[in-house]
Amino acid sequence: MAQNYIGVDLSKDWLDFFDPARGAARIANTDAELRVFLSKLGLEDMLIFEATSGCDGRLIRLASQAGQPFHRLNPLHAWHFARSLNLPKTDRVDARMLARLGAERRPDPAPGHDAIRAELAELHGRRDQLKRMETQEKNRLHKAGCASVRADIRAMLRVLAGRIAKAEAAIEAYLAAHPALRAKAALLQSIPGVGRVTAITLLSAMPELGACDRREAASLAGLAPRARESGKWTGQRFIGGGRRHVRRALYMAALSAMRHNSFCAGFVEALRARGKAGKVIAIAVARKMLTVANAILRDQTPFNARI
Most confident listed range (10-19, 148-157, 252-261) = 148-157
pLDDT in tens, 88-147: 788 888 899 999 999 998 988 887 778 888 899 899 999 999 999 999 999 999 999 999
Higher pLDDT: 156 or 117? It is 156
Does pLDDT of 1 surpass 60?
no
What is the DSSP track for 10-62? E-SSEEEEEETTTEEEEEESSHHHHHHHHHT--TTEEEEEE--TTTTHHHHHH
Does pLDDT of 306 surpass 50?
no
Does pLDDT of 193 surpass 90?
no
Nearest to 188 by CA among 206, 213, 168: 206
The CATH number of 4-105 is 3.30.420.10
pLDDT in tens, 24-80: 999 998 999 999 999 999 889 999 998 876 678 888 888 988 889 999 888 888 888
Does pLDDT of 307 surpass 50?
no
Q: Give the domain ranges of the chain.
A: 4-105, 115-177, 196-299
User: What is the residue-averaged pLDDT of the chain?
Assistant: 86
| Non-local CB neighbours of 126 within 8 Å, separated by 6+ positions | 167
What is the DSSP track for the chain? ---EEEEEEE-SSEEEEEETTTEEEEEESSHHHHHHHHHT--TTEEEEEE--TTTTHHHHHHHHHHT--EEEE-HHHHHHHHHHTT----HHHHHHHHHHHHHHH-PPPPPPP-HHHHHHHHHHHHHHHHHHHHHHHHHHHHH---HHHHHHHHHHHHHHHHHHHHHHHHHHHHHHH-HHHHHHHHHHHTSTT--HHHHHHHHHH-TTTTSS-HHHHHHHTT-SPBP-EETTEEPPPB---S-HHHHHHHHHHHHHHHTSS-TTHHHHHHHHHTT--HHHHHHHHHHHHHHHHHHHHHHT----TT-
The pTM for the full model equals 0.75
